[in-house]
C-alpha cells in the first residue's frame, strides 16, 4: 500500500479519532498526540489494513484502547474528560457564554458516568456510529449498548432536572 492509498483510506475519519481522543484525554495537545500515535500505528500496519473489514471501526478501537491505556498510565493524574470546545463566531456573546456554560455542565455530568457509558454515549450520540459498529469497537452486544446508552442518557437527564429544573413545567 502506498502513501496515497493510505491517506485515502485513513484521512476521512482522522477527525473522529481526534474527537474520541479529546473526549477521553483532557487537552487538545493530548488528543493531538494520541491521534498522531494512532496514525503512526496505522502506517506501521499499512500492509495489513486491507485485511480489515472496517478500517474505521478498527481505528476507533485502537484509539479507545490507546487513550484508556494512557489514562491508566502514570501521566493520568492530569487527565480528565471534557467535551470539545464550542465556538461559533456568528453568535452573540451571551449565546456563546450560555453555550459554554451548557457544555461545561454536560462535561461535569458526563465525568460522573461509568467509563462504558461515556464511551457508548460518545460513539453513538456524538460520533453517530451505528450499534453494530459500536459493538465491534467496544466488544459489546447491541442489547448491552442500548442499556448503557439508556442509563447514560437517564443519568444526564436526572442531573439536568436536579440542577436546572430542565424539562419541569
Residue 103, pLDDT score: 77
**Helix 14-24, helix 28-44: angle, nearest 10:** 130
Residue 22, pLDDT score: 87
Cell numbers given for 28: 487538545
- CA torsion angle for 67, 68, 69, 73 (degrees, to 10)? 100
- Residue 140 is classified by DSSP as -
Q: Which fold has domain 1-80?
A: Rna Polymerase Sigma Factor; Chain: A (1.10.1740)
Query: How confident is the prediction along the chain (169 residues), in pLDDT tens digits per residue?
Result: 788 888 888 888 899 999 988 888 867 888 899 999 999 999 998 888 888 888 888 899 999 889 888 877 745 454 444 434 444 455 567 777 777 777 787 778 888 899 899 889 888 888 888 898 899 889 999 999 999 999 999 998 888 788 766 555 5
Residue 76, pLDDT score: 46
Residue 67, pLDDT score: 86
Residue 98, pLDDT score: 75
| The domain made up of 90-169 is a member of CATH 3.40.250.10 | no
pLDDT tens, residue by residue, 102-122? 778 777 888 889 989 988 988
Q: Map out the domains of the chain as residue ranges.
A: 1-80, 90-169
Residue 81, pLDDT score: 41
What is the distance between the alpha carbons of residues 106 and 18, in angstroms, rounded to a whole number? 19
pTM value is 0.53
Task: Tell how far CA 49 is from the center of its chain.
Answer: 22
Amino acid at each position: 500500500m502506498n502513501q496515497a492509498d493510505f491517506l485515502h483510506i485513513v484521512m476521512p475519519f482522522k477527525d473522529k479519532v481526534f474527537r474520541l481522543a479529546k473526549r477521553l484525554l483532557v487537552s487538545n495537545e493530548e488528543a493531538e498526540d494520541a491521534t498522531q500515535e494512532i496514525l503512526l500505528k496505522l502506517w506501521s500496519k499499512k500492509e495489513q489494513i486491507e485485511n480489515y473489514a472496517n478500517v474505521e471501526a478498527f481505528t476507533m478501537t485502537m484509539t479507545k484502547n490507546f487513550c484508556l491505556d494512557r489514562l491508566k498510565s502514570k501521566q493520568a493524574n492530569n487527565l480528565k474528560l471534557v467535551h470539545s470546545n464550542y465556538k461559533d463566531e456568528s453568535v452573540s456573546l451571551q449565546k456563546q457564554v450560555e453555550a459554554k456554560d451548557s457544555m461545561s455542565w454536560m462535561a461535569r455530568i458526563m465525568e460522573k458516568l461509568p467509563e462504558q457509558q461515556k464511551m457508548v454515549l460518545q460513539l453513538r450520540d456524538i460520533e453517530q456510529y451505528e450499534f453494530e459498529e459500536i459493538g465491534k469497537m467496544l466488544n459489546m452486544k447491541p442489547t448491552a449498548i442500548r442499556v448503557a446508552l439508556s442509563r447514560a442518557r437517564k443519568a444526564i437527564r436526572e442531573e439536568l432536572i436536579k440542577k436546572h429544573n430542565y424539562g419541569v413545567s
